[in-house]
Amino acid sequence: MSASRAGLMATLALGIGAASLASGCASYIELEGHEQFIQAISFSPGGHRIASGSDDATARVWATDDGEELRTLLGHTGGVWGIGYTADGKTIVTASVDGTVRLWSARHGRLEHTLGDTSGEEEQPPALAVAVNPVTDTFAVSYDDNITAIWSLTDRSLLRRIPGGGRMVSAIAYHPEGKLLATTNGDRVRILSADDGRLVRILAGPGGLTHAVAFSPDGARIACGADDGKARVWDVETGEVVRTIEVEGETHIRGVAFDPTGRLVATGNWTGEVDVWRIADGVRVGGYDGQYDRIRAVVWAADGSKIAAAGGDESIRIWPVPSEVLEAAADGGPSQ
């Protein structure tokens, strides 16, 4: 079991101009143990655990209160690029560039089922991302051959194959009601019917390859991060851009996550910054500077109490979210 330690210090500040609403130092927990780039992270439904997938071909499960590594999930022969908990928190789904998808007991870390050839005799495309339907017993996996597959958690059968329109699907996300599936396809986001894979809407024109996508908790909006250094928030019903957020400097946005209210969105970028933005006016209301390297994934706990990020420095960092941040968003109050 790897050691974990409290991070040095990370700063989260809020304010209007020179006046500060709340400022100070918030210690972060740093989870160390992976030996290569971390590609994906996922909070458990209750937020007490976080699972991670890495290019070191392992997935790991950690306690979020003290950073203790609880389980190492061994079996993949290639990097683990997708990971997610089922809605009941009992199963962890991992997707790997070895072409297989594996189902694990979240409690024991025991491998329960493998989808895909493990003999090495069949050529199969790398699995790039996974999303678990929050309502039905299904999950989606995107593959390097531009296909998104819908699988059954009940009998592990393949239910549907959805073509990616000739473009690689690098990220996927389910609507909170389970009725829609969003996929990133090159420079656009496609919204599909989760029932039959029918194309509902194309959100086009990000201006760069999209690598991250998330629905708001109420399902009314969708956010994506792109290689042009911008995050965009769309209205799901109309397909119109609600807000465009631009990070300073030349960077790529590789992680996006909404807070529980849907009024804030967090972004993680390739230069190692996690920023929190108020969607109503596009103003940055907070940020974490942990001198991080190439953030690949950002997640926000369902209760809003913490944000986690992971990427190139082979560790995961978990920061507490001060109540002032959520209050500022709810009140339309101070920001910087």
Higher pLDDT, 158 or 334: 158
Tokens of 8: 């040095």
Predicted TM-score (pTM) of this structure: 0.89
- Tell me how far apart the alpha carbons of residues 256 and 258 are, in angstroms, rounded to a whole number: 7
85: left (phi over 0), alpha (psi -120 to 50) or beta: beta
Q: What is the tens place of the pLDDT at every residue in 91-101?
A: 999 999 999 99
Q: Which of 194-198, 205-209, 312-316, 321-325 has maximum average pLDDT?
A: 194-198
Number of H helices, E strands in the chain: 1, 33
pLDDT band at 333 (very low <50, low <70, confident <90, very high): very low
Average pLDDT of the chain?
Answer: 86
pLDDT band at 34 (very low <50, low <70, confident <90, very high): very high
- 5-331: CATH topology is Methylamine Dehydrogenase; Chain H (2.130.10)
Please give the average per-residue pLDDT across 130-141, as a whole number. 97
Secondary structure class of 328 (helix, strand, coil): helix
Question: Dmax of the chain from CA atoms?
Answer: 64
- Tell me how far apart the alpha carbons of residues 275 and 296 are, in angstroms, rounded to a whole number: 14
Any idea what the Cα angle at residue 290 is, between residues 284 and 291, rounded to 5°?
105
- Tell me how far apart the alpha carbons of residues 214 and 258 are, in angstroms, rounded to a whole number: 7
How far out from the chain centre does Cα 251 lie? Answer: 18
139 pLDDT exceeds 80?
yes
Tokens of 280: 């109503």
- Tally Cβ neighbours within 10 Å of residue 72: 14
In the beta sheet, which residues pair with residue 16?
A: 19
- Tell me how far apart the alpha carbons of residues 232 and 316 are, in angstroms, rounded to a whole number: 25
Q: What is the tens place of the pLDDT at every residue in 214-236?
A: 999 999 999 999 888 899 999 99
207 pLDDT exceeds 80?
no
157 pLDDT exceeds 70?
yes
pLDDT band at 7 (very low <50, low <70, confident <90, very high): very low
- Tally Cβ neighbours within 10 Å of residue 187: 16
Q: In whole angstroms, how far apart are CA 202 and each of 163, 199, 261?
A: 14, 8, 25
pLDDT band at 180 (very low <50, low <70, confident <90, very high): very high
Q: Where are the domains of the chain?
A: 5-331
6 pLDDT exceeds 50?
no
- Tell me how far apart the alpha carbons of residues 160 and 164 are, in angstroms, rounded to a whole number: 13
- Tell me how far apart the alpha carbons of residues 185 and 211 are, in angstroms, rounded to a whole number: 9
pLDDT band at 326 (very low <50, low <70, confident <90, very high): confident
